[in-house]
Amino acid sequence: HFTNVRSDPRYRLYMREGGLKARQYIINYDAIIHKAAEQFDLEAHLIKAIIMTESAFDPDAISKSGAQGLMQLMPTTADDMRVHDPFDPEENILGGTRYLSLLLKKFKHDKRLAVAAYNAGPKIVAKHNSVPPIPQTKRFVEKVMKYYAEFRKKGN
């Protein structure tokens, strides 16, 4: 049994999140991310932050809820964004960035609200007109914003 919660004094760190593998993926997908950022007039740093949070740059990632690929697109969102193969990095990044762009427009370019909507859905964010009081969504927003600040600071 693996966990990220120390529930026993015999707990030992087995693996860190991200690391070298994630850094290599950032390099591998940098051109696609910049293409998507330019196409949808978004900051590449924000796209990278979402990818890092969603999949740690693993193009084959699948969540328990069925989200797929680098930007963890749900099948219905992938269809709406014209993504035929969510495991194809370019399709996934372009589709996820298209979706993020729509959310940013909907929430008047408020990054925190758009990121919350990316995680929880736009209806619940609109209902609360803030980051909804859902622990997973709050953690997601904080993590994305942390990575966003780090990527901006590093300039990559």
Active-site positions?
54
Strands (E), 35-144: none
Strands (E), 17-85: none
Query: Can you say how many angstroms the Cα of residue 27 is from the centroid of all Cα atoms in its chain?
Result: 17
Distance (Å, whole) CA 99 – CA 88: 16
Is 102 exposed, middle or buried, given 0-12, 13-18 or 19+ CB atoms closer than 10 A? middle
Please tell me what DSSP assigns to residue 67. Answer: -
Distance (Å, whole) CA 24 – CA 8: 33
Sorted by sequence, the CB contacts under 8 Å of residue 117 that are 6+ apart come out as 103, 106, 107, 124, 125, 126
